[in-house]
Amino acid sequence: MDQAKTIIFIVIAAAIIIELFFVFGGNLPLFLYEQADYMVTDAAKDRLTQTLSSGDRRVGIAPPETNVWKPGETGIYLLGIRNRYSEDKQFYSNIYLEGLEGDLKGKLISNYQDNVASWMSYSKSISLGSQDSEIVSIIIKTGQDAEPGIYIMRTVVCEEENCNTLSDSGRIYSSVMFTLIIREG
């Protein structure tokens, strides 16, 4: 009888985790990953919410308390999206390495793009009702082998799938940049 209860518990726990996966847009909540080294402050989140609710901003970023990390550290940025349309809309996001500065200046971006992309976990598809906004987490876990320097990231939010960079300008809803600085471990 105890074995049957254990199996039922495991099945229910698995169902809850799968449901959380879908509720969080394909990204499990951070507590199921690991504790982040750097979190967004309440003040930064409030500023992002205010920015999206007033004015013409469609997309915004709230950084963690610092953007200077060591290799292997984890942090969270927040991406806010506001649907300015009078109808429900599906948006698609992509984050990519756009530039290198500091100790990495002059190096080929293409040599770093795949590695940097592997650091990030975020919702790539967001459904919003008319005039609604949503804030989603961008979880970044830098690689242990991350080279010191300044990584300039671009977030594009599009109205169609497979919109990857600013060169897809006809389909871009909005975009925003942020930086991540890796210092010596």
Q: What are 87-142's pLDDT values in tens digits?
A: 999 999 999 999 999 999 999 999 999 999 999 999 889 999 999 999 999 999 99
Mean per-residue pLDDT over the chain, rounded:
84
> How far apart (Å, rounded) are the C-alpha atoms in residues 81 and 59?
5
How high is the pLDDT of residue 161? 82
Phi, psi of 30 (to 5 degrees): -55, -35
pLDDT band at 33 (very low <50, low <70, confident <90, very high): very low
9 or 85, greater pLDDT: 85
* Percentage helix, strand, coil for the chain under 3-state DSSP, each rounded to 5: 30, 35, 35
How high is the pLDDT of residue 35? 73
At 104, the amino acid letter reads L
> How far apart (Å, rounded) are the C-alpha atoms in residues 131 and 61?
18
Phi, psi of 96 (to 5 degrees): -145, 160
Give Cβ neighbours of residue 184 (< 8 Å, ≥ 6 apart): 70, 148
How high is the pLDDT of residue 173? 85
How high is the pLDDT of residue 14? 58
pLDDT band at 28 (very low <50, low <70, confident <90, very high): very low
Q: What is the DSSP string of 10-47?
A: HHHHHHHHHHHHHHTTT---GGGT---SB-B-HHHHHH
How high is the pLDDT of residue 23? 46
Helix (H), strand (E) at residue 135: strand 133-141
Average pLDDT over residues 137-151: 95
24 or 71, greater pLDDT: 71
Average pLDDT over residues 178-185: 91
